[in-house]
Every structure is written in C-alpha cells, then in structure tokens.
Amino acid sequence: MRFRRVVGAALAVGIMAGATIAVGSGPAPAASGGSSDAVLTVGTKQDVDSMNPVAGVLLSSYEVWNMQYNVLVNFKADDLAPVPDIATSWSASPDGTTWTYKLRTDMQWSDGEALTADDVVYTLTRARDEEWANFYPFVSGFTDITAPDASTVVVTSAEPNPNLPFIPVYILPEHVWKKYDKKQVASFPNTNPVTSGPFRLTQWDKGSFWEMTANPDYYAGAPKVGTVRFRVFGNDEAMAGALRNGEVDAVHDLNPQLESTIDGSNITPVEALDGTFTQLTMNTGSGPVGNGHPALEDPRVRQAIAHAIDKEELVSKVLKGLGQPGQSVGVSVDPKYNLTVPADKTYNFDIAQANSILDQAGYAKGSNGIRTMPDGTDPLKFRFYYPTSNSVYARDVEFISKWLDQIGIATEVTAKSEDELTPIENTGKFDLVVWSWTPYVDPSPQLSYLTCGQVPETGDDGRYNDAFWCNQEYDALYESQRVELDPAQRIAQIKEAQQILYTEAPYVVLYKPVTLQAYRNDRFTGFVKQPADTGPVIYSQSDPSYLLVEPVVSTSGGGSGDSASGANDSDDGGSSSTGIIIGLIVAVIVIGGGGYLIARRSRTADERE
C-alpha cells in the first residue's frame, strides 16, 4: 500500500525539528508475550512529515502507517498476492461490481475498543467523500459502501474493478477520527495514535528519530522484536558508518556508490528494484498547448533516437552497474505486469542505423552537420531539460547529447529544479526531458499517464501525459484492462499496451535504478524481500519484515555494538531543552575558564622575561 512519488521527490530528506513530540502518553503496549526486548534500529535519510495518514506524503510516513494500521486485504510478501488482514475472506458477484468482505471479529484498537465493520465503512466512505488524496484513487469508484452486520463489508462499483480485493486504505478508528471534521482532519497531528497494527508509535523526536513499540496483543501474534527505532541521517556516509559501527542494524536508501564501503561478511546488501524507471521523454506535440519540435511528432525520428541510446553504457557508466537497462515502461512494482521486449522488436544501440532511418525519412544534414525538416526548415535542435534533484540526470543528459550529436541532432541543455521543470513540462514548452516515474502495484495509474485523456489542455490542469502522446489503440487497451477481471487476460492486454509504447517511443526508458538497503546479518535475521528476489526488505509495500525479524542469538557474548542485545531503556524525552541550557552554561564556563588560564599563563611568562 505504498505509493511513491517520483524518485527525486522521494529522496527529499525530511530533516526537521528538534523537540520531542509528546507521544505515547496513552497505554503504551508493554513488551511482553512473544516479543523480546530486542531493539531493531533502522537508518533512514527521511523523517516523517506527518503521522496523520490524511496529511503525510513521504515514504517514511507510510512506513509508520504500515506498521501501526491494518488494511482489509494485504499484499503477500513474496508475490504481492492478496492475503487476509482485517478481512479473512472475500468474494465477488459474477459481474465483478459487488465485493463482500468477511472481517475478523477479534481485533482491537490500542485503546481497547473493538475494530468493527463500522470503522471500515467509516474510513472508506470518508476517504471517498472528502477525497483524501492518499486514498481517493482506490475508493473513488465505489458507489456504495455498507456493513450489513458487524463482521461484513460490501462495496459496490459502477464498473468491474480488477484491483479488488485490494483496497489499500489504512482503516482508522471512527471513535477518534469523527472528532475532526473535514476542515480539521488534515491538521490533526495523530502523534498519540489509536492503532490496530503490530507496532505503535511511542516516540517521535522530530528530525532525529521515531520509535515503534510492539503490540503484544496483535491478532497475528506479537512481533519478535520489542522495538523498532528509526534514526534520521543527514548524509549517506554517516549512515554507512553507523551501520559498520553497529549504531544501526539496517539502512534504507543508501547511496549505491557507497556499496563498496559496507562490504563485509556481517553486512548483507540488498539491491532492490521498486519499479522506478528513468526515461527520456519526447514532446510528441498532441494537444492544444505546447510548442514541441515538429520532428518529434514523427515516430521515425523517435525510433532513431531510441537506436542512438546505449542503455548498457548508461547503466555501467552513470549508475556504476547498479541498475537494469531500460525495457518498456515499467507499470508496476510487481514484475508480472512488466513487459520484456522480444529481441526482434528491441531498438539496439546502433548509430549507423539511426542515421540511415533519419536519412530515409528525409531529414537531410545541413552544412553544419545538423539535420533539418524534410522541407529544409527547422533545424533539429532540441531544447533538452533535466531536473537537478538527482545528480545522475546530468550525467545521463551528457551521454545522450553526445549520441544525438552523432546522428545530426543538436541539443540545448538546461538544468531546472523540479519545481521549475514541472510547469515547463505541463505547458509543453520543451522537446526532450530526462526524468523518472515510480509506479504503484496497480498498473492502471502508470498506464493512464500516457493516454489521450491525460494530455494537458491548459498547462495547469494537473494532467500527466508529459510526452503529449495520443494513440487510440493504446487507449483502447488501457480501457479494457481497467475492467478486465481475468488476470491472465489483463496481463496480456497490459503487455500489449507496453509494446505499443515501446515501438512508438514517446518515452525511451533508460534504466531502472536500484535502491540500496543493507542489514547486519550478525545481529538480526528474518528479513524478507517484497516481492521476492527483486524487492526491498524494508520500506516495501506492506513491510512484512518487521513482523519476522528476530535477533541473532549471540554465541560470542555480544559484539561491539549494543542495540540488538541492549535493554529497552525507557526514554527520558524532554531532556533536550534542559540539556541545551546546561550545555550553554558549561560552554560559557569552559570558554571563560580557558581564557582566564591562558591570560594567567602568559602573564607569568611575561614576568619571567
């Protein structure tokens, strides 16, 4: 149930704050039952922006929500298949428009109230009616959400929805959230949350760390670690060092260039693919706004450009091997939806072929070596933008410009911040852009971005088709897969749509970069990748690892660090401001005393002269 923003934004380091937010004054679950008192410490570069699922947007916030809330149907660890969570079983009507969920009856909120069908109906209905941005796409199609009895929920849609049974909406306690109306709900801090999940937020020292404590009464059994603590780092080198030192046990989103610094038999690196891909976007010129170069409306020019890009070289030189060469557009985190382009349809890197395609299409080279339109006007000089949010884009553009130059296409390269580039893209005032997307599990949203309906018409209408590309055949496939209930049929249609995208080349997908995670295998065991083989072990769709990890039973009597075996000290939050004052006093004394000593010493020295 994690939806990522594009890579650059996801990298946003949420370092903020200093004072401890008062949390956990309610009945904090004591670590007992199945949980040990082990503390798993996770290093991350991103703080939580808001603990409130209606307001937060960052990945770290989703990490908290994944750990402390439940959904109707969850994602299985290894293949993202549906597994029971609040719902124990589900069934669809023959036409696929009505789904019935049978709920567990033994679930409790952390304040002792029972979790019932009313909470589910309340959350889904409010998310739909108030268009809560994090959840609205998953509930907007529901025409009816009801609870015939305390353990049954029925949702009805106007048309079949192949994403069901998944409704990735965190179910919230009605008796808490009803106190906040539509206007107040986004500013509710939720730092002392009433939760149902395996962990619960017990402390948040903004900008420094947050702490999740195991729920001993969790319906699926208590987690095996008593506490999971997240430490926020401002830079990658420190985070890598902390992993080596044993200050943290696992890290998320480490700069892949640092992989060589964490090699060692006690550290397991995880090169995770989360579906993110980086593409060369071409402005193909459909729609009422924009002034893209007319040559890019011609698929042959786009195909020539696709032939002129050496994806293997980009992966090895720009990503230092930490990625996969691009295929078609990745539409899902789940690999089963993503097309592998057949060899006979692949645009291989071949500058000569690219040149001959352009020659045959009539784009002759001028005296300066730059091609012009077949009628001799408009030299093929493209405005080429990239965002400054990630330094790899600059390197990509450097390589691509060099290759385009070899096929007689000139470029005028401009770097822009993401904020500046977004309006340029939306108004179509560009020819080429390098940027990234990160898809959801559900392939529909990513597929929808390149449909005709997403071509911007005013520049600020919030539409996503940044290639200004419109293809009826593609649109028809998008529409049919959107309501196709047969999984195999749906996958076939999705792959066919991806093949059209690849052939028509409004995007040339450069590569899929890996996200580097790592953990200390000498301290904790039980991390699972989601999905298996390719996925991340933490910051994943539903974070199964936190329920499964357990401390390694030490045979050598403890290592240099202590967080795995250390007792779970209760925290004396609020000490930071006293500490600050005392620190200031100490500093003044040190400075004053030091100055006095130096002055005295020099006086006696002078007197000796």
Partner 1 sequence: MARRVFAALLSLIFVLTLNFFLFRVVKSDPVGSLFRGRNVSPEAKDRLRTEFGLDKSLPAQFTAYMGQTLRGNLGVSYATRRSVGSEILDKLGPTLVLVGISTLLSAAIGVLMGIKAAWQRNSSFDRGSTAASMLTYAAPDFYIGILLLAIFAFWLRWLPTGGIENPDGGGLFDQAKHLILPCVTLTLGYFGEYAIIMRSSLLEVVNEDYLVTARAKGLRDALVRRRHAVPNAVLPVVTLFAINLGFVLSGSIAVETVFSWPGLGLATSDALRGPDYPMLQGLFLVFSGAIILTNLATDLIYGYLDPRVSTS
Reply yes or no: is the peptide bond before residue 387 cis, omega within 30 of 0: no
Judged by CB under 8 A, the chain residues 459 through 498 that form the site for partner 1 are 460-462
**Nearer Cβ to partner 1 (376/595):** 595
Is there binding between residue 533 and partner 1 (CB under 8 A)? Answer: no
Instruction: Report how far residue 247's alpha carbon sits from residue 241's, in angstroms, rounded to the nearest whole number.
Output: 8
Smaller CB separation from partner 1, 84 or 241: 241
Q: Is 606 in the site for partner 1 (CB under 8 A)?
A: yes
Site string for partner 1, 51-80 (x = CB under 8 A): -x--x-x-----------------------
State phi, psi for 56 to the nearest 5 degrees.
Answer: -70, 155
Residue whose CB is less far from partner 1, 230 or 403: 230
- The answer to whether residue 263 forms part of the interface with partner 1 (CB under 8 A) is no
- Kindly indicate which of the ranges 152-160, 368-376, 533-541, 599-607 contains the residues binding partner 1, using the contact rule CB under 8 A: 599-607
Q: Between 12 and 41, how does the x/- string for binding to partner 1 read (CB under 8 A)?
A: xxxxxxxx-------------------x-x
Comparing CB distances to partner 1, the nearer of 301 and 455 is 455
- Does 257 engage in binding with partner 1 (CB under 8 A)? no
67 burial (CB, 10 Å; 0-12 / 13-18 / 19+) is: buried
Is 527 near partner 1 (CB under 8 A)? no
Q: Please report the sign of the dihedral spanned by the C-alpha atoms of residue 464, residue 467, residue 473, residue 474.
A: negative
Between 134 and 284, whose beta carbon lies closer to partner 1? 134
State which residue, 233 or 337, has the beta carbon closest to partner 1. 233
Residue selected from 148, 221, 288, 579 as contacting partner 1 according to rule CB under 8 A: 579
We find the least distance from the C-beta atom of residue 99 to partner 1, in angstroms, to be 21
* Binds partner 1 by CB under 8 A, chosen from 33, 137, 160, 299: 137
* Residue 453 touches partner 1, criterion: CB under 8 A: no
Dmax over CA atoms of the chain, in Å, equals 105
| Segment interacting with partner 1 (CB under 8 A) among 397-405, 476-484, 532-540, 562-570 | 562-570
- The nearer residue to partner 1, 299 or 445, going by C-beta atoms, is 445
- Residue from 100, 255, 266, 422 touching partner 1 (CB under 8 A): that is 422
* Strand-strand pairing, 227-232 and 20-21: unpaired
Binding to partner 1 (CB under 8 A) within 495-514 occurs at none
437 part of the interface to partner 1, by CB under 8 A: yes
Binding mask 336-355 for partner 1 (x = CB under 8 A): --------------------
Contact 85, 77 (CB under 8 A): no
| Smallest distance, partner 1 to C-beta of residue 263, A | 15
Residue 136 in the binding site for partner 1 (CB under 8 A): yes
CB of residue 135 to partner 1, shortest distance in Å: 10
Restricted to residues 207-246, the positions that interact with partner 1 (CB under 8 A) are: 207-209, 211, 229, 231-235, 237-239, 241-242, 244-245
Please state, in angstroms and rounded to a whole number, the distance separating the CA atoms of residues 274 and 251. Answer: 16
Contact letters for partner 1, residues 172-211 (x by CB under 8 A): --------------xx-x-------------x-xxxxx-x
Distance in angstroms (rounded) separating the CA atoms of residues 607 and 601: 10
Count Cβ atoms within 10 A of the Cβ of residue 543 and give its class: 0-12 exposed, 13-18 middle, 19 or more buried. Answer: buried
Task: Give the one residue of 22, 415, 588, 589 binding partner 1; rule: CB under 8 A.
Answer: 588
Binding residues for partner 1, total number by CB under 8 A: 93
**Closest to 464 in 3D by CA, of 287, 302, 330:** 287
Long-range contacts of 543-546 (CB under 8 A, 24+ apart): 543/63, 543/66, 543/67, 544/77, 546/40, 546/67, 546/198, 546/199, 546/212, 546/223, 546/225, 546/228
Beta-carbon contacts of residue 376 (< 8 Å; ≥ 6 apart): 364
Q: Is 247 in the site for partner 1 (CB under 8 A)?
A: yes
Q: With contact defined as beta carbons under 8 Å apart, do 111 and 123 qualify? A: no
What distance in Å separates the CA atoms of residue 232 and residue 242, rounded to the nearest whole number? 11
- β-pair partners for 527: none
Write down the least CB distance from residue 142 to partner 1, Å.
Answer: 15
Cα separation values, 163 from 18, 33, 92, 93, 159, Å = 41, 37, 12, 14, 12
CA distances from 575 to 20, 98, 150, 233, 581 (A): 9, 54, 45, 21, 10
- DSSP assignment, residue 516? E
Residue 427 CB, shortest distance to partner 1, in Å, is 10
